[in-house]
Amino acid sequence: MIRVNANPAIDTTIKLVGVAVVMFAFVFVVMVPLYDVLCDALGINGKTSGEAYTAVQAGVDESREITIQFVATNNEGMPWEFRPQSTMINVHPGAVNDTVFYARNPLPEAMVAQAIPSVSPSRAAEYFHKTECFCFNQQPLEGLSDVQMPLQFIVDQDLPSDIKTITLSYTIFDVTEMVNGAVAVR
């Protein structure tokens, strides 16, 4: 019917379809990676670094004592027994501290687990350095066996003075089915 102006309208349409496609791709190739990068870089959202921290010799601040609480949670449907050896320890900023989490697989078949850490208050996340953590890797466990999983950490001396207590929470997930494909580790 309307042929007079058909061509410029088609041009506009093609450009706009392009915009829509770009915006759809934007979600996957920009928003998702950018979110992860920002959370990691700024330590926001309670996310601690997924990589081992290399300790800088800086001495221990004996004047302050920080209470570290450990929380272990099982994700829905995860049958493992999972708990910290001690639920609370007091540490000095700058000191290297060790503790252990206990895990036991009560089922007869082998499973793989992944622990995801979260620090509260979230402001403290960037001052909580893990030099060694079972959460850096997936944890395979044979059926009916148990394991002591080590954690070594340093609380930064620059931790804001109003923070007296830090809670480190781990949630353990069953990743047995995903283990072949996904390797996301943090």
Partner 1 sequence: MGDHHHGPAQGLSRWLFTTNHKDIGTMYLWFSFAMFLLGGFFAMIIRAELFQPGMQLVDPAFFNQMTTLHGLIMVFGAIMPSFVGLANWLIPMMIGAPDMALPRMNNWSFWILPPTFLLLASTLFMEGGAPAFGWTFYAPLSTTYAPPSVTFFIFSVHVLGLSSIMGSINIIATVMNMRAPGMTYMKMPLFVWTWLITAFLLVAVMPVLAGAVTMMLMDIHFGTSFFSAAGGGDPVLFQHVFWFFGHPEVYIIILPAFGVVSQIIPAFSRKPLFGYDSMVYATASIAFLSFIVWAHHMYTVGMPIAGELFFMYATMLIAVPTGVKVFNWITTMWRGALTFETPMLFCIGFLVLFTIGGFTGLMLSIAPADFQYHDSYFVVAHFHYVMVAGAVFSMTAAIYYWLPKWCGRMYNEAMGKTHFWISFIGFNVTFFPQHFVGLAGMPRRIPDYALQFTDFNMMSSIGAFIYGASQILFLYNVIATIVSGKPISDEKVWEGAEGLEWTVATPAPYHTFETPPKIDPAHAHS
By CB under 8 A, tell whether 52 contacts partner 1: no
Cβ burial of 178 (10 Å; 0-12, 13-18, 19+) is middle
Name the nearest CA neighbour of 105 among 73, 74, 135, 142: 142
Residue 39 CA neighbour count, 13 Å, CB half? 15
By CB under 8 A, tell whether 79 contacts partner 1: no
Distance CA(125)–CA(43), nearest Å, equals: 6
Residue window 83-102: x/- pattern of binding to partner 1, with contact defined by CB under 8 A: --------------------
Name the nearest CA neighbour of 63 among 94, 89, 87, 88: 94
For the CB of residue 9, give the shortest distance to partner 1 in the complex, in Å: 4
**Comparison of 91 and 166: residue with beta carbon closer to partner 1:** 166
- Return the residue of 48, 105, 114, 139 that touches partner 1, per CB under 8 A: 114
For the CB of residue 167, give the shortest distance to partner 1 in the complex, in Å: 13
Question: Is there a contact between 183 and 112 (Cβ–Cβ < 8 Å)?
Answer: no
Residues that bind partner 1 in the complex, under the rule CB under 8 A: 1-2, 5, 8-9, 12-13, 16-17, 19-21, 23-24, 26-28, 31-32, 35-36, 39, 42, 44-46, 75-76, 114, 116, 122-123, 171, 173-175, 177-178, 181-182, 184-186
